[in-house]
C-alpha cells in the first residue's frame, strides 16, 4: 500500500498515512481534526536492492560470450630495447 504525505493548512503540519490507491484523498487532518488537509507531492519510497544489473551479466563488456567465462587477458607487449647508439 502506498504512503501519502498530507499537509494541513490549519495547523501547518505534515503527516503521512498509508492508503489504497482507490481511496479518495483525506480532507480531515489526523493531527488537529480540521477539514484543511490536502495531499502533497513527495518523493516515493523506491529502493533498489541487490547487486544490480552488472552482476546479472547485462553490463559485461564481452559481447560474443554467453557462457559467462572470461577469456584470459593477453600480456601487455613491451617495446623491444632500441639497439641504435648515438656515437
pLDDT tens track for 29-82:
999 999 999 999 877 666 667 666 565 555 555 555 555 555 555 556 666 666
The pLDDT score that the predictor gives to residue 57 is 58
Has residue 13 been placed in a domain? yes
72 within domain boundaries: no
pLDDT, position 32: 94
Task: Count the domains in the chain.
Answer: 1
Answer whether residue 32 is part of any domain: yes
pLDDT at 1: 82
Residue pair 68/57 in contact (Cβ under 8 Å)? The answer is: yes
Domain extent, residue 17, equals 3-40
In a domain? residue 18: yes
In a domain, 7, yes or no: yes
The pTM of this model reads 0.50
Residue 21, pLDDT > 70, answer: yes
Q: Of 45, 46, 39, nearest to 16 (Cα)?
A: 39
**Whole-number pLDDT of residue 2:** 85
Amino acid at each position: 500500500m502506498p504512503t501519502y504525505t498530507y499537509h494541513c493548512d490549519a495547523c501547518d503540519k505534515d503527516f503521512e498515512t498509508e492508503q489504497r490507491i482507490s481511496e479518495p484523498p483525506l480532507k480531515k487532518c489526523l493531527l488537529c481534526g480540521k477539514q484543511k488537509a490536502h495531499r502533497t507531492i513527495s518523493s516515493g519510497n523506491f529502493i533498489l536492492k541487490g547487486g544490480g544489473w552488472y552482476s546479472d551479466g547485462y553490463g559485461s563488456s564481452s559481447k560474443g560470450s554467453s557462457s559467462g567465462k572470461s577469456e584470459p587477458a593477453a600480456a601487455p607487449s613491451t617495446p623491444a630495447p632500441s639497439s641504435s647508439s648515438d656515437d
